[in-house]
Structure 1
Amino acid sequence: MKSVFFLILAILSVGFNAQMLSSVYFEHNSYELNEGSKKKLDSLALLKAGLTFRIFGNCDSSGETEYNRLLSEKRANAVSAYLQGKIGNNIRLENTTGLGEEKQINDNSTDELRGKNRRVDIFIEKIFAPGEIISRKALPSFLSTKVSQMKVKDTFSLPDVNFIGGRHVWLPNGSTKLDQLLRILKDHPALEVELQGHICCDYENFDGEDIDLGTFNLSWTRANAIKEFLQKEGIASDRIKVKGLGHLNPVAYPERTETDRIRNRRVELVLLKK
């Protein structure tokens, strides 16, 4: 529960409309909430700031389209009904929607991946103030900071590592910078990092569609593309964690130019161990 509070508080302390995603998962063909899901929803219901929850039910692709749509609605309604009995006036349930198999975040090639598609997503939002403008201060570069000066849990930028819109393919000038990242990790084998992916533009959904994969986890696939590059070059998988943050922390909002959009299509790095 504490981790949920601290994440929300961190989000709300930033001067923009934060949207956070929380998800609960279901057994095959079921819309019953398990005890773990109830505990997660209990913690969300205790949040004190003025928030809006939007609830979206999802399915894997194992059933017929209409059956999946109805099942996803039942899942969304189960979450909504549970929260309705817990929340106070500080939280508003704005909508409850069943998406069926429309927003797959993974392919359905294994039981584990299908299980991740059997879920309900709760979007937790604070609204942008009218006319609000964000221009976030640049983070220190991981590539130019001495390892001796780095602190565990600090977040760093990967300068010039930006991505093509809608894809997990980085722009050409990112390759040199990723070679530098690879060299730092090879030279300092004790370092462990978390790669955090970001998107631009799509503020109706937590994350964007990866047009190459057809999944709705673009921020994660961007971070994972860098992990796969590093693994291929000999960095052990257990030294690299991957997280997708959707549009949670834009460096520029509103995105008035292509430069703004490119700046938001990025991956940042958190130092986990040194």
Structure 2
Amino acid sequence: MKYFFWFLLISVGFDAQMMTSVYFAHDSFEINPESKQKLDSLSELRVSLKFKIFGNCDPSGPNEYNHKLSEHRANTVHHYLQNKISQNIQLISVTGLGEEKQINDSSTEELRAKNRRVDIFIEKAFLPGEKISKNALPSFLITEISQMKVKDTFAIPNVNFVGGRHLWLPKGQPEILKLLKILKENPTLEIELQGHICCDYENFDGEDLDLKTFNLSFTRANAIKEFLLKNGIESNRITAKGLGHLNPVAYPEETESDKIKNRRVEVVLINK
């Protein structure tokens, strides 16, 4: 558990936001020993932080019951942390979401168990005028394949998305075609497409307004994947993953330009 504490401290020290979760037994809001260890580690952080707490559950019971259960879980975590945290940590909000924003489809017991959780969103407390603006990643479209390393992350410049949708802006179309060309010319390349969102800090991920699902970062990555598959790239060469709002390139988002920058998909090289 000490390793978790130091990993978390380093992560919060460099990023604007992150998330961690604790899990519950079926129909329970009692915190288990493993979750207490994780919450104890959170309470020991000495960086100036804000915590937002969101309770969730699987769809086993009626809607009203599930909502109450998720509230009980969120409040239990809130009370536990409230008695331990120091003054540098602010507990901003506590919300029970019921089953409405599940991250899994609950088709198996393993997936249902992952929906029985409380998410804690951890945000750095910014000073007035303070802003994070990360250096641009190297472009996947112009970097020599010989210079790429497996597991490196690359940008797809100018590929940004309409707010709340998995539709990329028109200026991104030529770049997507360049990505397609590179994959066709290098048939051994395997990539992971990682989607990102802006603005929605009340949830891990945003709502896709077209599909009415809460996995917008995934649907953005998957939209590019589907385009590539339709144009002849084999499905075993591409995976799609959603990273929600936890890795912004500009934060806080003060302008529309900041928001557009964060509505993006990046490429991780899996195999070359």
Question: Quick one: structure 1 residues 248 and 228, their matched pair in 2 at CA, closer, same or farther if it must change by over 3 Å?
Answer: same
1:12 partner letter:
G
- The answer to which of 259-268 and 97-106 deviates more is 97-106
Question: Quick one: structure 1 residues 220 and 172, their matched pair in 2 at CA, closer, same or farther if it must change by over 3 Å?
Answer: same
CA distance, structure 2, for counterparts of residue 153 and residue 45 of structure 1? 32
1:266 is displaced (CA, Å) by: 0.6
Residues 196 and 245 in structure 1, CA contact (< 8 A), matched pair in contact too:
no
Structure 2 gap ranges (5+) = none
Secondary structure in 1 aligned to 2:74?
helix
1:248 equivalent in structure 2: 247
For residues 58-83 of structure 1, the C-alpha deviation after alignment (integer angstroms, 9 at most, x for no partner) is 12344323211110012213333444
CA distance, structure 1, for counterparts of residue 223 and residue 162 of structure 2? 13
CA distance, structure 1, for counterparts of residue 228 and residue 182 of structure 2? 11
The 5 Å alignment of 1:63-78 reads: 63-78=61-76
1:123 is displaced (CA, Å) by: 0.6
1:13 equivalent in structure 2: 14
2:172 equivalent in structure 1: 174
Question: Quick one: structure 1 residues 235 and 103, their matched pair in 2 at CA, closer, same or farther if it must change by over 3 Å?
Answer: same
Secondary structure in 2 aligned to 1:160?
strand
Secondary structure in 2 aligned to 1:60?
coil
1:128 equivalent in structure 2: 126
Question: Quick one: structure 1 residues 113 and 228, their matched pair in 2 at CA, closer, same or farther if it must change by over 3 Å?
Answer: farther
1:42 is displaced (CA, Å) by: 4.5
For residues 148-180 of structure 1, the C-alpha deviation after alignment (integer angstroms, 9 at most, x for no partner) is 112344321111221111012222343332233
For residues 7-45 of structure 1, the C-alpha deviation after alignment (integer angstroms, 9 at most, x for no partner) is 65245225xxx1212123334423344555445434434
1:228 is displaced (CA, Å) by: 3.8
Question: Quick one: structure 1 residues 184 and 122, their matched pair in 2 at CA, closer, same or farther if it must change by over 3 Å?
Answer: same
For residues 94-148 of structure 1, the C-alpha deviation after alignment (integer angstroms, 9 at most, x for no partner) is 333222234344556x236544433211011112322334544332210111011
The 5 Å alignment of 1:127-166 reads: 127-166=125-164
TM-score between the two structures when normalised by the length of structure 1 = 0.80
CA distance, structure 2, for counterparts of residue 210 and residue 4 of structure 1? 34
CA distance, structure 2, for counterparts of residue 5 and residue 193 of structure 1? 30
2:96 partner letter:
G
Question: Quick one: structure 1 residues 129 and 38, their matched pair in 2 at CA, closer, same or farther if it must change by over 3 Å?
Answer: same
1:55 equivalent in structure 2: 53
For residues 195-232 of structure 1, the C-alpha deviation after alignment (integer angstroms, 9 at most, x for no partner) is 32221233444432222232333223222333344455
Residues 252 and 263 in structure 1, CA contact (< 8 A), matched pair in contact too:
no
Secondary structure in 2 aligned to 1:159?
strand
Identity %: 61
Residues 56 and 121 in structure 1, CA contact (< 8 A), matched pair in contact too:
yes
Give the paired residue count. Answer: 269
CA distance, structure 2, for counterparts of residue 45 and residue 64 of structure 1? 34
Secondary structure in 2 aligned to 1:193?
strand
What value does the CA root-mean-square deviation take over the aligned residues? 3.2
2:212 partner letter:
G
